[in-house]
Amino acid sequence: MRRQLAGLLLVVIATACGSDSSVAPNDSGDQNTSHATLEQALSELTLPVLAAAGGSVTTTIPVGLALGTGRCAYTAASQSFVCPPATASGVTIKQSFTLLTASGAKQSAFDYSTTASVKANTSVAGTIVEDGATLTIDSQQELTLSGLLAGPHALDGTSTTRLSGTFFGDAPIDVQITGSISSLVLPPNTAVGAQVWPTAGTIVVASSGTFADLPPFTSRLTLTFNGTSTVTLTITENGFSQTCQHDLAKPGLPACA
């Protein structure tokens, strides 16, 4: 069960981090000479940690709903753009995003010359009943994309997820998942349709809890990016660690020492 969850986390993270030219940081392909548009910035907020948490439970959670001013209206009370809630399979997703200047001041509209970063907040809550499982999920994430003015674009963020309920009708589960994204640098695209990978940064997903009558477990997955599709994956489970190399562009299991 624990290894299955770890594998699902890895697959979903790979899907979230690999992007194509449709989400390029700017039209010229050079973040240092061209500013991003709001649509381009929002498209880069792919919420990889939340996707990892949701993907480890069920593929029916529609994480990563499109952010945009067409769907999300500015609210003066919060000084943020608040999106209408979306509900599917018993789970409700709430999203909002905030535009910030270099000094951290909130903005009511995107400004090509002064909007320095975008902060997105997402919550996922509800109960899923599927294939003999009843799972309650409560998840919160905050993700910030910076570097919009001069580049490079970088993602930072944190998330927490609590999963509780039963599998197979009577096997109890109670799991806490925390995630973090640290200085995940997104390169500019150089060719239409090209696959791009973060040039630096890490994604960490840590989990702990209990499942059925098994002993309590703890695990930690750390992915370190270097600009290629091959990442270093460090897995620590119940005090034992191993380091692996995994090519996110290819199917298959990581190659571990």
Give the pLDDT band (50/70/90) at residue 250. confident
Residue ranges covered by each domain of the chain = 2-256
Give the pLDDT band (50/70/90) at residue 46. low
CB 174 within 8 A of CB 210: yes
Average pLDDT of the segment spanning 103-112: 96
Please name the amino acid found at residue 248: L
pTM across the whole model: 0.79
Percent of the chain exceeding pLDDT 90 equals: 30
155 bridge partner residues: 145, 184
**pLDDT for the residue numbered 54:** 36
| The dihedral formed by the CA atoms of 7, 54, 48 and 18, expressed in degrees to the nearest 10 | 60
Number of Cβ within a 10 Å radius of residue 199: 15
| pLDDT at residue 76 is higher than 90 | yes
Range with lowest mean pLDDT among 20-29, 42-51, 90-99: 20-29
Highest mean pLDDT among 21-30, 64-73, 74-83: 74-83
**pLDDT for the residue numbered 42:** 86
Mean pLDDT of the chain: 77
| pLDDT at residue 27 is higher than 90 | no
Average pLDDT of the segment spanning 124-148: 88
User: Which has more pLDDT, 1 or 149?
Assistant: 149
Structure tokens at 255: 């190659």
Range with lowest mean pLDDT among 128-132, 163-167, 220-224: 128-132
Percent of the chain exceeding pLDDT 70 equals: 75
Give the pLDDT band (50/70/90) at residue 83. very high
Average pLDDT of the segment spanning 110-119: 95
CB 161 within 8 A of CB 177: yes
**pLDDT for the residue numbered 102:** 96
Angle between helices 48-55 and 2-17 (to 10 degrees): 150
Give the pLDDT band (50/70/90) at residue 195. low
Average pLDDT of the segment spanning 102-128: 94
